[in-house]
Amino acid sequence: METTSNLMWPGALSDPSGRRQAKPRAAGITMVIDKGLGQHAFEDLLAAAGEYIDIIKFGFGTSPLYPVELLTRKIEWAKRSRITVIPGGTLLEAAVARDVVPAFFRQVLGFGFDGIEVSDGTIELPRDRRDELIRDAAALGLKVYTEYGKKIFGSRIDVQEFAETAERDFEAGAELVTVEARESGVGVGLFDEKGSCREQTLSEMLRIIPNRSRILWEAPQKEQQVALIKSIGPEVNLGNIPVHDVMALETMRRGLRSDTFELGGAFSDYVI
Query: What is the residue extent of each domain of the chain?
Result: 13-266
With bands split at pLDDT 50, 70 and 90, how would you rate the model's confidence at 209?
Answer: confident
Report the share of the chain in percent with pLDDT over 90. 79
Name the percent of the chain in helix, strand, coil, to the closest 5: 45, 15, 40
With bands split at pLDDT 50, 70 and 90, how would you rate the model's confidence at 2?
Answer: low
What is the side-by-side order of every strand in the sheet holding 237-242? 84-87, 55-58, 30-34, 237-242, 215-218, 176-179, 143-148, 115-118
CATH of 13-266, one of 3.40.50.300, 3.40.50.460, 3.20.20.70, 3.40.190.10: 3.20.20.70
- pTM to 2 decimals? 0.92
pLDDT at residue 271 in the model: 44
Q: Is the pLDDT of residue 270 over 80?
A: no
CA–CA separation, 34 and 37 (whole Å): 6
Tens of pLDDT, residues 210-244: 788 999 999 999 999 999 999 999 999 999 999 99
More confident: 109 or 208: 109
Q: Is the pLDDT of residue 265 over 70?
A: no
Helix (H) or strand (E) holding 210, with range, is none
